[in-house]
């Protein structure tokens, strides 16, 4: 491990200054991903800026518009087991409980969940090339072990996936990320927060180096009546998604008024397809409608060999998740049975 300095600023302005002054600074909160990356020599920060003592970032409170604001330091467990989240945003609670382990969820922060990095094997191995870890060094995953890799939104430079479950739920709910930095405060629609790899796979998000996430806002529309988070993985706990689907519907009888679904495990960011969602509007909530939407969403899907199976798995997962959401029988993430 390389040497680094450690600082624990007392207020947000000081934290922003500490980060802005050092290009190789990293913010640390729960540390559940960053510390692993430091042990593997993937992350080599010159300065760690500990934000865990900053005031005002650890609450869950209503917003003036009727939504809920989750502070950046609220742990994943505290979000998942909050009574208001469970009642109004069970989709989010379910997505969180599908991820990691209780110990990790007790330590991981809301802001950190958004900023966790891919679990691509090559990214974690400094003995190999990897454009995300070392730009220009290649992408061995394309012709290598790519069973867990992306089928949508890839580039010639990177085919990694984003590992978060919580973010897939936040994408379907159309959350907003709040951040502050040297140029002041701003809000970022969740859709615009994570980026595709393109020519710069080393950049995961649109957050500037000197910006710190302060909160995530959930809009008033909660889809509590018709939702599910379906996660398909190699084992039923402590495994990243091969494919996951956060589905949210608003129904009028058996017809669909609003449809949203976000996919996890298939792209560099939680994946939504506006045309696929639009295709469901004013259609009956039927298997045929869901299958057509799945086909639209996966039109451009491309496998790299070991992950070819994800295309058909994603198609089936979309249909099943939308059917569960329509029926009001969301996938349970606590009893671990697949239904």
Does position 15 bind ligand SF4 by CB under 6 A?
A: no
- CA-CA distance, 234 to 119, in Å (whole number)? 15
Q: How far is the CB of 302 from ligand SF4 (least distance, A)?
A: 14
- Judged by beta carbon, residue 118 or residue 333, the one nearer ligand SF4 is 118
Q: Show the binding pattern over residues 176-205: x = contacts ligand SF4 (CB under 6 A), - = does not.
A: -------------------------x----
- Judged by beta carbon, residue 9 or residue 140, the one nearer ligand SF4 is 140
> Applying CB under 6 A, which of residues 73, 130, 168, 294 lies at the interface with ligand SF4?
130
Does position 120 bind ligand SF4 by CB under 6 A?
A: yes
- CA-CA distance, 277 to 285, in Å (whole number)? 12
- Both tokens assigned to 309: 């199976």
Does position 269 bind ligand SF4 by CB under 6 A?
A: no
Sign of the CA dihedral running 190, 149, 258, 91: negative
How many residues bind ligand SF4 (CB under 6 A)? The answer is: 15
- Both tokens assigned to 104: 């990790």
Q: Which of 168, 148, 150 is nearest to 159 (CA)?
A: 150
Query: How many C-beta atoms lie closer than 10 Å to residue 238's C-beta?
Result: 12
Does position 132 bind ligand SF4 by CB under 6 A?
A: yes
> Applying CB under 6 A, which of residues 12, 27, 79, 139 lies at the interface with ligand SF4?
139
Does position 122 bind ligand SF4 by CB under 6 A?
A: yes
Sign of the CA dihedral running 115, 120, 122, 125: positive
Q: How far is the CB of 308 from ligand SF4 (least distance, A)?
A: 16
Helix, coil or strand: residue 334: coil
- Phi–psi pair at 57, nearest 5 degrees: -110, 5
Phi-psi region of 41 (alpha: psi -120 to 50; beta: other; left: phi over 0): left
Instruction: Give the footprint of ligand SF4 on residues 143-162 (CB under 6 A).
Output: 149, 158-160
> Applying CB under 6 A, which of residues 131, 176, 279, 289 lies at the interface with ligand SF4?
131
Give the interface with ligand SF4 as residue ranges (CB under 6 A). Answer: 118, 120, 122-123, 130-132, 139-141, 149, 158-160, 201
């Amino acid at each position: 491990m390389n040497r680094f300095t450690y600082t624990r600023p007392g207020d947000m302005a000081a934290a922003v200054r500490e980060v802005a002054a050092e290009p190789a600074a990293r913010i640390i909160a729960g540390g559940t991903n960053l510390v692993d990356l430091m042990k593997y020599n993937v992350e080599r920060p010159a300065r760690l800026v500990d934000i865990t003592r900053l005031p005002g970032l650890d609450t869950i409170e209503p917003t003036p518009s009727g939504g809920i604001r989750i502070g950046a330091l609220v742990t994943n467990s505290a979000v998942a087991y909050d009574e208001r989240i469970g009642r109004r945003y069970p989709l989010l609670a379910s997505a969180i409980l599908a991820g990691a382990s209780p110990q990790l969820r007790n330590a991981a922060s809301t802001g950190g969940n958004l900023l966790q990095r891919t679990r691509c094997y090559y990214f974690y191995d400094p003995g190999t090339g990897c454009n995300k870890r070392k730009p220009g060094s290649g992408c061995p995953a394309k012709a290598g072990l790519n069973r867990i890799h992306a089928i949508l939104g890839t580039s010639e430079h990177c085919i990694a996936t984003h590992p978060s479950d919580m973010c897939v739920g936040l994408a379907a709910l159309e959350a907003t990320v709040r951040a502050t930095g040297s140029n002041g405060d701003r809000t970022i629609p969740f859709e615009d927060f994570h980026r595709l790899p393109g020519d710069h796979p080393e950049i995961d998000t649109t957050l500037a180096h000197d910006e710190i996430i302060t909160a995530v806002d959930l809009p008033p529309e909660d889809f509590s009546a018709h939702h599910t988070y379906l996660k398909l993985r190699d084992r039923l706990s402590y495994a990243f998604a091969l494919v996951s689907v956060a589905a949210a519907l608003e129904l009028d009888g058996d017809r669909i008024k609003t449809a949203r679904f976000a996919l996890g495990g298939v792209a560099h960011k939680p994946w939504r397809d506006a045309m696929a969602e639009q295709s469901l509007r004013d259609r009956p909530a039927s298997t045929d409608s869901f299958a057509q939407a799945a086909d639209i969403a996966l039109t451009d899907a491309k496998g790299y060999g070991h992950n070819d199976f994800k295309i058909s798995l994603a198609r089936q997962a979309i249909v099943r998740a939308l059917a569960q959401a329509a029926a009001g029988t969301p996938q349970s993430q606590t009893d671990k049975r697949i239904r």
